[in-house]
């Protein structure tokens, strides 16, 4: 590996005093390059005596003039640390050489937590170094050979007194984020990447619309999208164009056409209330709406604008047959760069707005989230690096296009990475989903726990036998639902996490990697967590009360930093300033990280009540109530906890319940006693039960907090 193919970030962070260097990963080819950082200083190589090393690394370490070993089973690491401290005299450096492990791609840390625990307990100053490997974790449309083989990002040093796994994770993730964010591809254009993907995978991949079983190759999609983009450009001078369509062929072509027209697609949430829809239309400033005539009739309750403002795609495309044919030929003949220049796709890129989405409005008016070209390209790279689906895979796209996950993962990701896309306009029709999965041998299913419950009732297990990965998000995955789904379909659904503001994916669980001979296995799934961080994402936690930064293994409000994090809310600098500080995004969720880097979500700060000075998590109370009442978590939601103002204790807990008779005073008393028997504090017990016909949920499956609070206030 030539030195020209190695990049070094933040060499100024290298301490002059002695330090224990811990790289997140270290291949044999990087050993000498890492040593060059400390030219002129005495280097001691440190290994874990039970670890497996490849022959090249072992031979190098055996021939080195200075070496030491430790055991991850050491009962007195502080004593071993005192012996090792002698190697740090006069600016000496100890470099830990991680052994071979079985792990999934995209992890910043390839060191077993048992090893890290001992390394941090030595009581030595620590220097984390993140190692990014762009050539093996790039977008499929990038030229890997033009990228550096490795980027060594020097982290902030950790004083001996502050050494801990949490401190190491904090600094390593931040260094890894800086390395990942420096990739030049993220300065480019999403439209150009999509053009490249459609050309590269034009004849090997296709979209199949499950509504009518029609299919189009990516090459045909490209020609249709370019031709339709000319119509879009002629129809409006506005920067943004609204799209009111479900997942499907029309929705894909419409979104591509708007981008190819040099404009910003705005997929509107047609399931929201009238006021929320009108708010998003007003905020987006759109004057044209791409849809279809059948869809206009189907959702007649939508506040449709006058007919002159509608662009009916199913009427327009037949009129463009000759132009589609022409662009089909040109797109085959012209190189991507020439075609992109001809279409003017290079003008908007990097931090320019690529797509406007809106938050669900579960706790207030929808907020406009302007996601940039950089945001999408980064998140697609993060997602695809971690998930590593095999060539020829297919993904089911049924999540709404106005949902951030539906937009990134079932619009842009399959095109750029070359994955067959099978769509269906509704996420609720589990029976039809199962037919599509079985017929097209779909590998990947992205869903929510709410939608998975439909599979439990209506689907034959054999129909889902092709699935290799089921990932859920948007709401907490109940363990009982995961167990029941696994028992029936022989595949365990795994939980992920993300937000509209992070484009959206930040974490998800994956099946553990297969064990290799004599190597340690790094877990990639953990029950109850939302998984490990995707590559290039840094995390920070702050105290919910005073806002001070706390260690990652302590409960706190979650902040993220990364190239996938948005730049601010649409025309709302005040709200943007509340959640963005120096590139860090405040999620509003409360969580903690364990020693293996798994994130546990304890609840949303808006779903906590501060009662007599104590933070009470609503989701924990709901889980306890479901348990003591014997409610089936695979069925529809029957209860919801709501916090209301209380003149004595600040807040009180109310319970919304769909169970007849539950609102009687005696039932509330019985529930309190059952919760107390489970070890739940009396402060956490509901003060009152309110009967409601149904628990309000959004189209995404999330609890509609705003409507729940309104019900509680109206019926008190």
DSSP readout, 523-554?
Answer: P---TTS--EEPTTEEEEEE-TTT--EE-TTS
Residue 659 and residue 638: Cα distance in Å, rounded? 7
The backbone region for 567, taken as left when phi is positive above 0, alpha when psi lies in -120 to 50, beta otherwise, is alpha
Name the band, by pLDDT with cuts 50, 70 and 90, for residue 650: confident
Q: What is the mean pLDDT of residues 105-111?
A: 92
Q: So what's the pLDDT on residue 580?
A: 97
Q: So what's the pLDDT on residue 711?
A: 85
- pLDDT tops 90 at residue 388: no
Q: So what's the pLDDT on residue 196?
A: 97
Q: So what's the pLDDT on residue 339?
A: 97
For residue 399, give Cα distances in angstroms to 173, 387, 396, 424, 701.
30, 18, 9, 9, 11
Q: Count Cβ atoms below 10 Å from residue 693 Cβ, excluding itself.
A: 6
Q: Count Cβ atoms below 10 Å from residue 623 Cβ, excluding itself.
A: 15
Positive or negative torsion for Cα 572, 577, 580, 583: positive
Q: What is the mean pLDDT of residues 646-651?
A: 76
pLDDT in tens, 553-580: 999 999 999 999 999 999 999 999 999 9
pLDDT in tens, 201-246: 999 999 999 999 999 999 999 999 999 999 999 999 999 999 999 9
Residue 689 and residue 75: Cα distance in Å, rounded? 53
Identify which of 323, 374, 388, 340 has the alpha carbon closest to the alpha carbon of residue 104: 388
Residue 696 and residue 698: Cα distance in Å, rounded? 7
Which residue would you say has higher pLDDT here, 513 or 539?
A: 539
pLDDT in tens, 439-496: 999 999 999 888 898 999 889 999 999 999 999 988 888 888 999 999 999 999 999 9
313 contacts 199 by C-beta, under 8 angstroms: no
pLDDT in tens, 322-369: 999 999 999 999 999 999 999 999 899 999 999 999 987 655 678 999
Which residues, including other chains, have CB under 8 Å from residue 59's CB and lie 6 or more apart?
none
- Helix orientation angle between 190-200 and 373-387, rounded to the nearest 10 degrees: 40
Name the band, by pLDDT with cuts 50, 70 and 90, for residue 4: low
Instruction: Determine the 3-state secondary structure of 84 from DSSP.
Output: helix
Q: So what's the pLDDT on residue 716?
A: 65
Q: So what's the pLDDT on residue 633?
A: 57
> In the chain, what percentage of residues exceed pLDDT 90?
68
pLDDT in tens, 130-159: 999 999 999 999 999 899 999 999 999 999
For each of the domains in the chain, give its residue range(s) and CATH number, in order of start: 3-182 (no CATH), 190-520 (3.40.50.12780), 612-714 (3.30.300.30)
Residue 667 and residue 677: Cα distance in Å, rounded? 15
Of the given ranges (46-50, 551-555, 690-694, 699-703), which has the lowest mean pLDDT?
Answer: 699-703
Beta strands in 168-213 (DSSP E): 206-209
Mean residue pLDDT across the chain: 91
Q: So what's the pLDDT on residue 364?
A: 63
Q: So what's the pLDDT on residue 635?
A: 64
Token pair of 657 as six digits: 């319940």
Q: So what's the pLDDT on residue 617?
A: 81
Q: Count Cβ atoms below 10 Å from residue 164 Cβ, excluding itself.
A: 19
Residue 532 and residue 524: Cα distance in Å, rounded? 7
Of the given ranges (25-34, 450-459, 586-595), which has the lowest mean pLDDT?
Answer: 25-34
Which residue would you say has higher pLDDT here, 691 or 219?
A: 219
- pLDDT tops 70 at residue 32: yes
> Furthest-apart CA pair in the chain: how many Å?
81
- pLDDT tops 60 at residue 3: no
Q: What is the mean pLDDT of residues 196-201?
A: 97
Cross-strand bridge partners of residue 533: 507
pLDDT in tens, 267-278: 999 988 888 899
Of the given ranges (69-83, 394-408, 610-624), which has the lowest mean pLDDT?
Answer: 610-624
Of the given ranges (51-55, 175-179, 614-618), which has the lowest mean pLDDT?
Answer: 614-618
């Amino acid at each position: 590996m030539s030195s020209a193919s190695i990049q070094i970030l933040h060499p100024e962070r290298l301490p002059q005093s002695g330090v224990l260097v811990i790289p997140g990963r270290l291949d044999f080819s990087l050993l000498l390059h890492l040593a060059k950082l400390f030219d002129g200083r005495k280097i001691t190589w440190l290994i874990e005596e039970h670890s497996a090393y490849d022959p090249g690394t072992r031979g190098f370490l055996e021939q080195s003039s200075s070496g030491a070993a430790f055991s991850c089973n050491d009962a007195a690491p502080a004593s071993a640390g005192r012996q090792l401290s002698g190697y740090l005299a006069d600016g000496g450096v100890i470099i830990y050489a991680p052994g071979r492990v079985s792990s999934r791609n995209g992890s910043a840390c390839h060191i077993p937590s048992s090893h890290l625990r001992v390394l941090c307990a030595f009581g030595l100053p620590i220097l984390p170094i993140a190692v990014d490997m762009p050539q093996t974790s790039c977008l499929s449309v990038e030229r890997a050979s033009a990228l550096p083989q490795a980027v060594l990002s020097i982290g902030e040093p950790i004083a001996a007194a502050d050494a801990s796994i949490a401190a190491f994770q904090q600094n390593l993730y931040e260094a890894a984020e800086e390395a990942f964010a420096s990739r030049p591809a993220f300065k480019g254009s999403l439209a150009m990447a999509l053009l490249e993907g459609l050309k590269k995978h034009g004849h090997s991949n296709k979209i199949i619309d499950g509504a009518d079983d029609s299919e189009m190759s990516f090459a045909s999609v490209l020609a249709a999208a370019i031709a339709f983009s000319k119509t879009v450009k002629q129809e409006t001078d506005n920067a943004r164009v609204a799209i009111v369509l479900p997942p499907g062929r029309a929705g894909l072509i419409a979104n591509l056409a708007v981008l190819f027209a040099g404009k910003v697609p705005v997929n509107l949430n047609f399931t929201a209330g009238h006021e929320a829809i009108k708010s998003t239309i007003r905020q987006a400033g759109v004057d044209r709406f791409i849809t279809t005539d059948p869809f206009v009739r189907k959702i007649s309750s939508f506040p449709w604008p006058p007919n002159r403002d509608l662009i009916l795609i199913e009427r327009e495309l037949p009129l463009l047959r000759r132009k589609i044919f022409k662009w089909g030929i040109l797109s085959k003949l012209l190189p991507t760069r020439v075609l992109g220049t001809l279409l003017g796709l290079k003008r908007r890129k990097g931090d320019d707005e690529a797509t406007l989405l809106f938050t669900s409005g579960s706790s207030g008016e929808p907020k406009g989230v302007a996601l940039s070209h950089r945001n999408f390209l980064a998140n697609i790279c993060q997602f695809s690096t971690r998930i590593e689906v095999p060539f020829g895979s297919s993904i089911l796209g049924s999540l709404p296009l106005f949902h951030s996950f539906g937009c990134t993962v079932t619009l842009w990701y399959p095109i750029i990475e070359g994955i067959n896309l099978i769509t269906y306009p509704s996420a609720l029709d589990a029976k039809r989903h199962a037919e599509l999965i079985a017929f097209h041998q779909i590998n990947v299913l992205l869903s929510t726990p709410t939608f998975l419950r439909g599979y439990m009732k209506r689907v034959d297990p054999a129909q889902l036998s092709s699935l290799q990965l089921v990932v859920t998000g948007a709401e907490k995955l109940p363990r009982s639902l995961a167990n029941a789904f696994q028992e029936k379909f022989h595949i365990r659904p795994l939980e992920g996490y993300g937000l509209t503001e992070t484009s959206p994916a930040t974490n998800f669980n994956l099946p553990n990697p297969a064990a290799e001979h004599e190597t340690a296995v790094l877990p990639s799934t953990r029950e109850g967590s939302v998984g490990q961080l995707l590559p290039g994402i840094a995390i920070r936690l702050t105290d919910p009360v005073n806002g001070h930064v706390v260690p990652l293994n302590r409960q706190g409000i979650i902040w993220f930093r990364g190239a996938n994090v948005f730049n601010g809310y649409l025309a709302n600098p005040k709200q943007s300033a509340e959640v963005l500080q120096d590139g860090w995004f405040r999620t509003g969720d409360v969580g903690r990280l364990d020693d293996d880097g798994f994130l546990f979500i304890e609840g949303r700060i808006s779903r906590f009540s501060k009662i007599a000075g104590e933070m009470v998590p609503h989701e924990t109370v709901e889980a306890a109530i479901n348990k003591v009442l014997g409610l089936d978590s695979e069925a529809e939601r029957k209860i919801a906890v709501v916090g209301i103002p209380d003149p004595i204790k600040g807040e009180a807990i109310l319970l919304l319940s769909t169970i007849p008779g539950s609102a009687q005073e005696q039932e509330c008393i019985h529930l309190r006693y059952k919760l107390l028997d489970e070890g739940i504090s009396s402060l956490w017990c509901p003060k009152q039960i309110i009967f409601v016909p149904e628990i309000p949920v959004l189209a995404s499956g999330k609890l509609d907090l705003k409507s729940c609070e309104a019900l509680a206030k109206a019926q008190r």
